[in-house]
Amino acid sequence: MKIALILAAGGQGRRFGRNKQLFLHKNKPLFIHTIEKFQKQKIGQLIIAAGEAKKFQRLLEKYKIKGAAVVAGGVERCDSIRHGLAALRGDITHVFIHDGARPNVTDSLVARLKKALRKHAAVIPVIPVADTIKVVKNNKILATPRRAELFAAQTPQCFRKDIILKAYAKINPQNCTDDAMLVEKLGLPVYTVPGEADNIKITTREDLKYIV
Ligand SMILES: Nc1ccn([C@@H]2O[C@H](COP(=O)(O)OP(=O)(O)OP(=O)(O)O)[C@@H](O)[C@H]2O)c(=O)n1
Ligand SMILES: C[C@](O)(CO)[C@H](O)COP(=O)(O)O
């Protein structure tokens, strides 16, 4: 298994109030914290999709992260991922797509994903939702799906390379809020492993206190 990690770091951080990937937490940019969580992993290719490519490149040098390619971020997350996929090397067999804004990813989660990937071609981490979820339109509840069947999707989302390339080539990503959705729309099975409650996405400044 030769893994490429595509780090989605091309967002604008509107809810955070600035480009959160570059925000210094404990004197280090958020996206560097996230990349460093993968340092014990065997990653064959690291691709970062980011808006300010030169700035990101300089920071990668400063924090001695070698061999990373920075590609342009896109208007939507899926556009950033598409740019990342276009930069994949021929020898890569599997792709991990991870939010730069999820700095609490752990080695044990990655190990679970890798194990599942040996059996399945598409695997993502999920956690059960704690609340009762309502489908609402015009302030009126349309449905209350069975909570036991509801899970929140996390990243890294992991795929055999041919499948994720096919999904991004064939499926219109409009309204797709994660990568797994494109594979689902292709009609292919996506399997899950237990995610981790700490593996949150830093969305607003209040979330910074949850970085471990
Ligand atoms: N055009 C985009 C939009 C998002 N992302 C990345 O996707 C992840 C999840 O997105 P989100 O938390 O929504 O980040 P932002 O888009 O930066 O936040 P906001 O929606 O508040 O602007 C982040 O790591 C973000 O950098 C990306 O690579 N390219
Ligand atoms: C991909 C993702 O992290 C799965 O939970 C999430 O959907 C991305 O968040 P966004 O706010 O929709 O960019």
| Ligand 2-lining residues (CB < 6 angstroms) | 77, 99, 153-155, 177-178, 201
| Relative orientation angle of helices 161-170 and 77-86, to the nearest 10 degrees | 130
What pLDDT sits at residue 207? 96
For the chain, domain boundaries: 3-122+154-210
| Average pLDDT rounded to a whole number, residues 136-158 | 98
What pLDDT sits at residue 160? 98
pLDDT band at 146 (very low <50, low <70, confident <90, very high): very high
Encode pLDDT of 14-52 as tens digits: 999 999 999 999 999 999 999 999 999 999 999 999 998
**167-185 burial by CB neighbour count: b if 16+ within 10 A, else e?**
bbeebebeebebbbbbbbe
Q: Specify the pTM.
A: 0.97
Q: Which residue has the tokens 């096919």?
A: 166
* Protein residue closest via CA to atom 5 of ligand 1: 11
**CATH code for the domain defined by 3-122+154-210:** 3.90.550.10
| Average pLDDT rounded to a whole number, residues 154-161 | 98
Residues 6 or more apart in contact with residue 45 via CB below 8 angstroms: 3, 4, 5, 67, 69, 88, 89, 92
**C-alpha closest to that of 180 among 153, 140, 199, 146:** 153
pLDDT band at 190 (very low <50, low <70, confident <90, very high): very high
| Average pLDDT rounded to a whole number, residues 109-123 | 98
| Residue 173 CB less than 6 A away from ligand 1 | no
In the predicted model, what is the mean pLDDT of the chain? 97
Proportion of the chain above pLDDT 90, given as a percent: 98
Nearest atom, ligand 1, residue 74 CA: 1
Residues 6 or more apart in contact with residue 200 via CB below 8 angstroms: 102, 104, 207, 210
